[in-house]
């Protein structure tokens, strides 16, 4: 990155992200490994990881196993370092987020805290 004249602030954020990933996954790139599995095994592994989250989420009352399976195939675990923006006000949302661990602050453009999610 330094060879591409990347600003130090961006390099610092990248390093924070890598440290956060290491702290959470110890270098194991689980998502990449899961993608290489045969479809049926991939679904079983993802089901074990994500099923509890989906089944206990109030937005999915009494959903069918097929619906749960479909949602599970679209879920990915992402880890964000402290103070990293997930999305900014006015930006078009293309993803849905579940907070499994930690706290997310919703802030306005003027940096006022609008809400805190846990």
pLDDT of residue 1: 56
Phi, psi of 111 (to 5 degrees): 75, 15
Question: Left (φ > 0), alpha (ψ -120 to 50) or beta: where does 111 sit?
Answer: left
Q: Tell me how far apart the alpha carbons of residues 74 and 77 are, in angstroms, rounded to a whole number.
A: 10
Regarding predicted confidence, which is higher, 116 or 81?
116
Burial class (CB in 10 A: 0-12, 13-18, 19+), 52: exposed
Which residue in 85, 72, 81 sits closest to 111, CA to CA?
Answer: 85
**3-state DSSP call for residue 97?**
coil
Give me the DSSP letters along 6-44: --HHHHHHHHHHHHHHHHHHTT--HHHHHHHS-HHHHHH
pLDDT of residue 83: 78
Task: List pLDDT tens digits, range 58-85.
Answer: 766 677 778 777 877 777 777 787 777 8
pLDDT of residue 88: 80
């Amino acid at each position: 990155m330094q060879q591409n004249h990347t600003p130090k602030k961006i390099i610092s954020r990248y390093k924070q992200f890598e440290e956060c990933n290491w702290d959470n996954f110890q270098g194991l790139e689980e998502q990449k490994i899961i993608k290489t599995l045969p479809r049926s095994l991939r679904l079983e592994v993802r089901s074990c990881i994500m099923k509890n989250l989906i089944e206990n989420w109030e937005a999915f009352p009494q959903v069918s196993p097929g619906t749960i399976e479909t949602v599970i195939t679209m879920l990915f675990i992402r880890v964000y370092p402290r103070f990293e923006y997930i999305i900014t006000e006015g930006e078009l949302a293309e993803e849905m987020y579940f907070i499994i661990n930690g706290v997310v602050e919703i802030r306005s453009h003027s940096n006022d805290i609008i809400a805190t999610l846990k």
